[in-house]
Structure 1
Amino acid sequence: MATANDRAVLRTIFNPSTPFGDIPGLDEDEGEDVWQEEDAAFAPELLEQVRDLELQGVSAAESGDVDAAVQRFSEAIRLLPERASAYNNRAQALRLKGDVEGALRDLDTAVLLSRGCGRAACQSLVQRGLIRRLQNREDDARRDFQRAARLGSGFARQQLVLLNPYSALCNQMLSQMLGQLRNPDVGGSE
């Protein structure tokens, strides 16, 4: 029977882009119960109204009406300013409009309101990490991705690998070595 460590080693071999030391089960769905705890403090009627506004905002953004999306998310924030989710969603819309500074302000607020825990925090940290990476703020991006990875984001862990050239090189060499072991005739002497 394989131990958790054995499974982690096998995952690393068969998925070379996964960082070493991957936590078993981290990518598994934690279920809605964990995420619903974020909203437990809010009045159900108001929460339902705010969620509906956020869904309208997402639909508007998907249809290309980013201004309407920002309006819906702003209305959700006006109704329930203590809830992190709408700030994260509005940040995405602001970023689509080219308002990176506004997006960063909303992401900072979302992380603060969520106290760095839960789905909204995880999504906000990933989004902020991506913006910081585009701004060549690698250390800040790495910190955000590390926090998001601890909250369960597989995407954040992938970004951490990309930010670590030694890890990426090691994983690439391991992948090439395994490829040569599987197909010794390919890549032979010239």
Structure 2
Amino acid sequence: MATAHDRAVLRRIFHPDAPFGELSGESEEEELEGGARADDAFDPQRLEEATRLEMQGVTAAEAGDLDDALESFGRAIELLPERASAYNNRAQAFRLKGDVASALEDLETVLRLSQESGPVARQGFVQRGLIQRLRGREEEARRDFEQAARLGSPFARQQLVRMNPYSALCNQMLSEVMKQLRGRQIPPGEASSGVGGPS
């Protein structure tokens, strides 16, 4: 059976859009634990084969062979149709291939199978939010990122901040202030006593 390390490698390789924070630290441990608990319901031999097929699909996708990746993910789904992980990975392959409709269909299945909770659902919401954002559907993307953030996704929280127009304006103003401060020469006495000098 695949080890926790194997599953971590699978997640890192096949979810390149997620920042490292999304797949490392506590989030990764929780994801691996959550995935292991969800996987306990399946026959160990079928689970091992499905996981092997998923890893084979990841390898193919990484090599640029999306058709082979889709075939491997499809076989994993046929083997364990009630396991959400392969649908998440197949959705990513569909998206990379430009088949957004099929990706969204698989993500709906992920959310249904996971009952919109846990690490697999969190990743499903993030993927669907990214697709919605790319399609210009900001409100749908915001809802998906809100759901993912409630499930503990730091990446989704970052996206929500970026989507907030007031936050974007504040960030722009702060950036301009920082540029001005970097260009200003600070006299030696002023640096130690603060910006306004001694009070």
TM-score tier, shorter chain, comes to 0.7 to 0.9
- Match of 1:112, SS state, is helix
Q: 1:174: Cα distance to partner?
A: 4.1
Shift of 1:39: 1.4
Q: Tell me which amino acid in the other structure corresponds to 1:97.
A: K
Distance 1:168 1:154 in 2: 18
- Residue 113 of structure 1 pairs with residue 113 of structure 2: yes
Matching residue within 26, 29, 34 for 1:29: 26
**Conservation of the 8 A alpha-carbon contact between 1:38 and 1:118:** no
Q: CA deviation at 1:178?
A: 6.0
Q: Distance in 2 between matches of 1:75 and 1:120?
A: 19
1:15-26 matched pairs, under 5 angstroms: none
State the secondary structure of the residue aligned to 1:152. Answer: coil
The structural deviation recorded for 1:119 is 2.0
Identity within the alignment, %: 59
In structure 1, the gaps of 5 or more residues are 1-26
Q: What whole-Å deviation, never above 9, does each CA across 1:65-109 have from its counterpart, x for those lacking one?
A: 100000000001001011111001001111122111001000111
- The question of 1:185 aligning with 2:184 is answered yes
After superposition, give the CA deviation of every residue in 1:155-181 in whole Å (9 maximum; x if it has no partner).
111111121111222244345556666
Contact 1:118–1:151 (8 Å) recurs in 2: yes
1:41 aligns to what SS in structure 2?
A: coil
> Paired residue for 1:140?
140
- The unaligned stretches of length 5 or more in structure 2 are 1-23, 186-199
The 5 A counterparts of 1:147-186 are: 147-174=147-174, 176-177=176-177, 183=182, 185=184
Q: Which has the higher contact order (CA 8 A, sep 6+)?
A: 1
Cα distance between partner residues in 2 of 1:36 and 1:118: 11
Q: Name the residue aligned to 1:38.
A: 38
Structure 2 match to 1:51: 51
CA root-mean-square deviation: 1.9
**Greater percentage in helix:** 2
TM-score by length of 1: 0.76
TM-superposed CA distance for 1:149, in Å, is 1.2
1:45-76 C-alpha deviation (Å, 9 max, x unpaired): 21111111100000000001100000000001
Find the aligned partners of 2:159 and 2:110 in 1 and give their Cα distance: 21
Q: Does 2:63 match 1:60?
A: no
Q: Larger Rg: 1 or 2?
A: 2
- Give me the whole-angstrom Cα distance separating, in 2, the residues matched to 1:45 and 1:179: 59
